[in-house]
A and B are shown apart, each in its own frame.
Chain A
Amino acid sequence: DAGVIQSPRHEVTEMGQEVTLRCKPISGHDYLFWYRQTMMRGLELLIYFNNNVPIDDSGMPEDRFSAKMPNASFSTLKIQPSEPRDSAVYFCASSSYWGVSSTDTQYFGPGTRLTVL
Chain B
Amino acid sequence: ELKVEQNPLFLSMQEGKNYTIYCNYSTTSDRLYWYRQDPGKSLESLFVLLSNGAVKQEGRLMASLDTKARLSTLHITAAVHDLSATYFCAAGRGSNYKLTFGKGTLLTVNP
Enumerate chain A interface residues (CB-CB to B < 8 A).
Answer: 31, 33, 42-45, 48, 50, 55-56, 91, 93, 95, 98, 101, 103-111
| Binary per-residue interface labels of chain B (71-111) against chain A in the complex, 1 for a CB within 8 Å, 0 otherwise | 00000000000000000100000010111111110000000
Interface of A is mostly: strand
List the 7 closest pairs (A to B, CB-CB), nearest first: A105-B45, A103-B48, A43-B101, A108-B43, A108-B42, A42-B103, A110-B42
**Given A42-B103, A42-B104, A110-B41, are A101 and B97 neighbors across the interface (CB < 8 Å)?**
no
Contact call A105/B48, Cβ cutoff below 8 A: yes
Nearest CB to that of B4 among chain A residues? A42
Task: Pull 27 A–B residue pairs with CB atoms less than 8 Å apart, ordered by A.
Answer: A31-B97, A33-B97, A42-B101, A42-B104, A43-B43, A43-B88, A43-B104, A45-B100, A48-B98, A50-B97, A55-B97, A91-B42, A91-B43, A95-B97, A98-B97, A103-B50, A104-B48, A105-B33, A105-B45, A106-B33, A106-B45, A106-B99, A108-B35, A108-B43, A108-B44, A109-B42, A110-B41
A93 to B41, CA, bound (A): 14
CA distance A105 to B41 in the complex (A): 18
B78: min CB distance to chain A, Å: 26
Q: Give the distance in Å from the alpha carbon of A108 to the alpha carbon of B37 in the complex.
A: 11
In the complex, A56 Cα to B42 Cα: how many Å? Answer: 23
**Closest CB of chain A to B44's CB: distance in Å?**
8
Whole-angstrom CA separation of A45 from B101 in the bound complex: 9
Instruction: Say whether B45 contacts A56, CB under 8 Å.
Output: no
> Do A48 and B48 contact each other (CB < 8 Å), given the known contacts A42-B104, A109-B42?
no
Residues of A near B95 (CB, < 8 A) are: 98
Quick one: closest A residue to B49, CB to CB?
Answer: A103
For A43, list chain B residues within 8 Å (CB): 43, 88, 101, 104
13 further contact pairs, Cβ within 8 A, besides A33-B97, A106-B33:
A42-B101, A42-B104, A43-B43, A43-B104, A44-B101, A45-B99, A98-B31, A98-B95, A103-B48, A105-B45, A106-B99, A108-B44, A109-B42
Q: How far is the CA of A110 from the CA of B42 in the complex (A)?
A: 5
Tell me the minimal C-beta distance from B68 to chain A in angstroms.
19
